[in-house]
Amino acid sequence: MEDFDDSRLEDGEALRSADHLLRPLAEAGARVRRELAAAEGPLSELESERPRAMITFGPEARLIRAVLEPTCPVPLVAWPRLGLPGWVGPLDVVVVMGGGDRVSMAAAFEAVRRGCRLLVACPADSSLAREAGSSSTTILPTTTGDPMAAAIVTLVALHHLGLGPAVSPEAVASAMDQVATDSSWAVDATQNPAKATALELAEAQPMVWGGSILAARASRRVAEAVRSASGRVVLSADAGALMPLLAAVPSRDPFADPFEESAAERRPGLVLVDDGMDDEHAAEDRERLRGNALATDVMVSNLSSLSGTPVERYVTVLQQGLFAAAYLRIGLGRASR
């Protein structure tokens, strides 16, 4: 069992040696601005044109679907397989985000062959851009290699096409900047929410839950980051799956020596992701999870953002979780892994 050393979170040398973990998170807002600047030309030429349906590919395809689903005027699908469904044709728009992997290349090839309206976010000089070239294609040139930044610009394009809500990249970037400021390595743990969350998860077997569609997606991303940071099993699931696990947690022995606790005996830690968008059912689940956790003496951590648009809230809770995972990795002495 790797020991978490909280002194590493205030050790300037240890934090500077983890710059490769923290700097990319701190620069997330800047990458959004760079992608927007690169795509300004193509974005200005887009006009609203309602298709029959929309299908999306790429690493953030499910984020696009989650943002658009409540208001999109046409059916939409995040397609995970090679090629296009048989029903896709010239009346549909295909959205591809990627750098030239097999799935995105196959989707672009099929979309061009079938005469679909094609929207592609990728480097302008990439093989994907060349494969996607046609009179019905719009290339959103990307420069940073950041799928999240590319997805934000793609959402702007889809709003121009009349298919999604308005998204302000500057507001999204500012939300990311604020998390970076609050979670800076120079801010001590008493004032730094990301370090505080890392301390709460230091010896825990984390479980992550989000109620709304976007909070649930953020919970999965945060769980992946915490899993990579800690090397532990980390579960992101709905309330129905987590409730029995919380109910089965044994009471804490007040006389147990925490320094002799083994990995097999590690207690759960519950991370609640709250974007303020819970429906009535999700709000009830949140209170049940919190109540069960408190009843079994399980630590509850919170990642929350209760103002701004849904996308701004999403990036805020996600960045909070990613920073916490980075500090957890540093505290465990795994920064070089």
Region 118-146: mean pLDDT is: 94
- CA distances (Å), 192 to each of 21, 140, 199, 274, 301, in order? 17, 36, 11, 18, 13
Q: Is the pLDDT of residue 259 over 70?
A: no
Dihedral Cα 27, 32, 33, 38, nearest 10 deg: 120
Answer yes or no: same fold for 6-18+185-331 and 29-168: yes
Cβ atoms 142, 150 nearer than 8 A: yes
Domain ranges within the chain, ordered by starting residue: 6-18+185-331, 29-168
**Given pLDDT bands bounded at 50, 70 and 90, which one contains residue 3?**
confident
**Integer-rounded Cα radius of gyration of the chain:** 22
Over residues 217-239, the pLDDT tens digits come to 999 999 999 999 999 999 999 99
Over residues 54-108, the pLDDT tens digits come to 999 988 988 999 999 889 999 999 888 888 999 999 999 999 987 668 888 999 9
Cβ atoms 140, 42 nearer than 8 A: yes
Cα distance between residue 209 and residue 239, in whole Å:
7
Q: Average pLDDT, whole number, for the chain?
A: 93
- At residue 261, the pLDDT reads 55
Instruction: Give the DSSP letter string of 219-284.
Output: HHHHHHHHHHHH-S--EE--HHHHHHHHHTPPPP-TT--GGG--GGGPPEEEEEEE-S---HHHHH
Q: How many CA atoms lie within 13 A of 291 on its CB side?
A: 7
Tell me which residue of 201, 181, 211 sits closest to 319, measured CA to CA: 181
**Given pLDDT bands bounded at 50, 70 and 90, which one contains residue 41?**
very high
| Percent over 90 (pLDDT), the chain | 84
Q: Where are the alpha helices (DSSP H) in the chain?
A: 12-17, 19-26, 28-44, 61-68, 102-114, 127-132, 147-160, 169-182, 193-200, 213-230, 239-247, 280-295, 310-331
What CATH class does 29-168 carry?
Answer: alpha beta
The burial class, CB within 10 Å (0-12 / 13-18 / 19+), for 81 is exposed
SS3 state at 208: strand
Cα distance between residue 128 and residue 78, in whole Å:
19
| b/e burial code for range 17-36 (CB count within 10 A of at least 16 → b) | ebeebbeebbbbbbbbbbbb
Q: Which fold has domain 6-18+185-331?
A: Rossmann fold (3.40.50)
